[in-house]
């Protein structure tokens, strides 16, 4: 599935907006809710509310993360990086083949690089990041044909809920 470089935007989004079933995004709603649970904990430490989970091939959660840059003073303390680190510890190696990363916000370039290098098979994200997104909006690092690994990308899962969490955080600041 590494060669599957499709973005799951388009017609399915229209079905979701119309309230109909969305066979592409519906299976990812429960894991996205788990990522949202992580995200809502981040503002408690002053961090931007972004959360992520890594799913094993069987669908079980093997990694969790939320932004912790402010809490730890670590510039690499992004939700995706922390979830990938925890998943790698859980499986006992750096290759996360067969795994899926589910994150509330489109990954940045640093996180996109970590995704490619960890060999995650699929990235599922909620809100688009037009200012720093690297999975299709501003850049498309994860699907760059020059790289040796290109995960599948599914965007827009619970996008409104993910975006609202971020909007509320920045409005309140």
**Residues annotated as binding site for Zn(2+)?**
78, 108, 111
Which residues line the annotated binding site?
78, 108, 111
Check 38, 80, 106, 152 and give the catalytic one.
80
N-to-C CA span, the chain: 42
Is 106 marked active-site?
Answer: no
Taking the C-alpha atoms of residue 137 and residue 12, their distance in angstroms, rounded to an integer, is: 18
Residues labelled as active-site residues: 80
């Amino acid at each position: 599935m590494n060669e599957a470089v499709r973005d799951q935007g388009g017609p399915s989004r229209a079905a979701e907006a119309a309230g109909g079933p969305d066979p592409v995004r519906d299976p990812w709603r429960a894991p996205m809710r788990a990522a949202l649970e992580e995200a809502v904990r981040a503002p408690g430490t002053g961090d931007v509310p972004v959360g992520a989970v890594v799913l094993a091939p069987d669908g079980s959660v093997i990694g969790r993360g939320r932004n912790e840059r402010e809490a730890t003073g670590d510039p690499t303390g992004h939700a995706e990086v922390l979830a990938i680190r925890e998943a790698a510890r859980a499986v006992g190696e750096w290759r996360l083949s067969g795994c899926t990363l589910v994150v509330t916000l489109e990954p940045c370039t640093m996180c996109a690089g970590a995704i490619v290098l960890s060999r995650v098979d699929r990235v599922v994200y909620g809100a688009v990041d037009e200012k720093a997104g690297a999975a299709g909006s501003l850049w498309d690092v994860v699907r760059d044909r020059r790289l040796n690994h290109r995960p599948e990308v599914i965007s827009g899962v619970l996008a409104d809920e993910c975006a609202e969490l971020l909007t509320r955080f920045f409005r309140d600041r």
